[in-house]
Amino acid sequence: MTKGEIVLGCLAPHPPHLVYAENPPQNEAFSEGGWETLRWGYAKLARKLKTIDYDAIVIFTPHWQTYIGTHFLGLPEFKSKSVDPVFPNLFRYNYDLKVDVELAEAMHEETEKAGIITKMMRNPDFRVDYGTITSCHLLNPDWDKPIVTISSNRNSHYYSNEVMIEQAKALGEACMKAIEKSGKKVVLVSSHSLSHRHFVTEAPLPEDMSREHIYNHSQYVWDMKIIDMFREGKMQEVVDIMPEYTEQTIAETEAGGLIWMMAAMGVPSYPAEIYGYQSVIGTGNCIACWDPNTNTRELVL
């Protein structure tokens, strides 16, 4: 069997506002638009994905929060409605998705071998989290590839950001082993914002862009620092600075997604492709990808 590989790693934030702003038929809410910088960036990255040959999307989501180990979706299909508990006015999305259970089980097995507590999720009534749905919808609106969703074990809450990093690294390395053994070509998705302090009030018209800005300047400066490192291919430095960055900006990196993806990809030392940065209800969101293929890697922004 050919050795499996990661063909792309994407940082794909999941504010439900972006799906709301697109008005896809799956979503019940209606908007007049908004957050175009991110949506146009997503559209460009989605076009790139269409040019890449891959078998499955593996996504790590902060909105399936587990405290007892790391869990994997373990049934072939999930069809239901996802209503965002925080922004139900924006996101009520009817989904119908396929799971690559074989790959999920392979990852579960390798992860267990690495000493990480794991569980397969096989309850058919389980509702897939809106982080998974938002990021996958924006990257692949056709939903024509199976996915694997990995829950986020909340080590930052229970222990520290340093422990989170160690666990996420081990998880990423185990997932990479499973991908290699599977012979499949896989796109990894780390679904999260950067700085993550929200405004606690909402404009009467949520898509009123005159009201949108980063929560405070400190968050912006930190986000720019991290994005500069992405551009320069300094991902080991990003890993090293992650505990302080996460603490200073209440970043959604606390869930471990970015570290997981970087570890699986061998901590890239090449530049990331940047597709956009914009705030959503005060949080900082960057769309980026790491393309291991030097022939297709490009300078986007």
Partner 1 sequence: MSEDSPILFGLYVPPHPQPLLSPDANQGYSNLRAAFETCRKRIEESDADLILVYSTTWPSVVGHQIQALKESIWTHVDDDFHYLGSMPYNFKIDTDFANEYCSAAKKRGLHARTVEYEGFPIDTGSVVALSLLNPDNRIPACIVSSNMYANRSETIVLGKSASDALIAQGKKAVIVVVSSLSNRMFTEHIDPADDRIHSSKDNEWNEKILQFFADGRLEDLSQLSREIHGQIRVQKVVAYKPAWWLASAMGQHNNYQGEVLAYEALHGSGGAVIQLTPSTGSFGDKEFDEDDVEFYQGDRNVLNKGNF
> What sections of the chain are H helices per DSSP?
16-22, 36-50, 101-113, 130-139, 155-158, 161-182, 217-232, 235-249, 257-264
Binding mask 278-297 for partner 1 (x = CB under 8 A): ---x----------------
Nearer to partner 1, 216 or 293 (CB): 216
- Does 119 interact with partner 1 (rule: CB under 8 A)? yes
Nearer to partner 1, 23 or 89 (CB): 89
The two beta strands, 92-98 and 77-83, are antiparallel
Binding-site member from 132, 140, 151, 279 for partner 1 (CB under 8 A): 151
Contact present, 59 and 148 (Cβ < 8 Å): yes
- Does 126 interact with partner 1 (rule: CB under 8 A)? yes
- Does 122 interact with partner 1 (rule: CB under 8 A)? yes
Locate 11 and state its tokens.
């940082």
Q: How far apart are CB 67 and partner 1 at their closest, in Å?
A: 5
Choose the binding region for partner 1 from 120-128, 139-147, 177-185, 229-237 (rule: CB under 8 A). Answer: 120-128
Binding-site member from 3, 50, 79, 81 for partner 1 (CB under 8 A): 81
For 11, the 3-state DSSP assignment is: strand
- Does 112 interact with partner 1 (rule: CB under 8 A)? no
Binding mask 152-171 for partner 1 (x = CB under 8 A): -xx--xx-------------
Bridge partners, 99 (sequence order) = 147
Burial status of residue 1 (CB atoms within 10 A of its CB: 0-12, 13-18, 19 or more): exposed
Phi first, then psi: what are they for 285, rounded to 5°?
A: -130, 125
